[in-house]
Amino acid sequence: MAPRGSAPAGAGLPRQRGGDPLVVGRVIGDVLDQFTRSLSLSVTYGSREVSNGCEFRPSQVVNQPRVEIGGDDLRTFYTLVMVDPDAPSPSDPNLREYLHWLVTDIPATTGASFGQEVVCYESPRPSMGIHRFIFVLFRQLGRQTVYPPGWRQNFNTRDFAELYNLGSPVAAVYYNCQRRVVREAEDDNRTPKYAKINVMLLVT
């Protein structure tokens, strides 16, 4: 397991032969134990699907994504967890994990919109450094067997899974997101009083 205060890794890295991007990105270790994927999980913001280690801007993830899962039996239900293990900053993640979204009772072959949103989606707003946002899918023992925690901060995916006998994850995917800053030189007409200075503009 990587040190608690270590920075995220694996930004922009595709799946490579002999390398698991969840390991490269330290999702395995910081949030999850090693597991075998057994179900398809598709997470899409707008027209762009999340792939492990890809990067999104905060403005691209304001609205909750479309989530679709595989399976073959509508009588089987799943729980979707979305967490940030790098809150409030990768160098001091004292809120690890921060729970951004929790949907239960998702029938197989459908998506999050068919489940119960027990913790509403909170859009990522990283304030410092690169944050990983991780979607984890668990198979439930039955319908209405999983309940929300009382808070978002210091959520623990492993403990949550153990509490509700969810076992190992059946799928997981993550992306990176960071607050982006651009320096723009302002001309005399735009900033007559403070001409020729650099202005910090937050770009989302």
The tens-digit pLDDT sequence of the chain (204 residues) is 444 444 444 443 344 444 899 999 999 999 999 999 999 999 999 999 999 999 999 999 999 999 999 999 999 999 999 999 999 999 999 999 999 999 999 999 999 999 999 999 999 999 999 999 999 999 999 999 999 999 999 999 999 999 999 999 999 999 999 987 654 334 444 433 333 333 344 444
Residue 54, in any domain of the structure: yes
Residue 168, in any domain of the structure: yes
Domains identified in the chain, total number:
1
Residue 185, in any domain of the structure: no
Residue reference for tokens 């770009």: 203
| 78-89 exposure pattern, b = at least 16 Cβ within 10 A, e = fewer | bbbbbbbbbbbb
Q: What is the CATH number of the domain that holds 59?
A: 3.90.280.10
Residue 157, in any domain of the structure: yes
Residue 188, in any domain of the structure: no
Residue 27, in any domain of the structure: yes
Range of the domain at 30: 21-179
Residue 4, in any domain of the structure: no
The residues, any chain, with a CB within 8 Å of residue 39's CB and separated by 6 or more, are 69, 70, 71, 78, 108, 137, 139, 170, 171
Residue 127, in any domain of the structure: yes
Q: Order of strands across the sheet with 130-139?
A: 54-56, 171-178, 130-139, 77-84, 98-107, 116-119
State how far the alpha carbon of 140 is from the alpha carbons of 76, 78, 80, 158, 164, in Å.
8, 5, 10, 14, 8
User: Model confidence over 52-105: pLDDT tens digits?
Assistant: 999 999 999 999 999 999 999 999 999 999 999 999 999 999 999 999 999 999
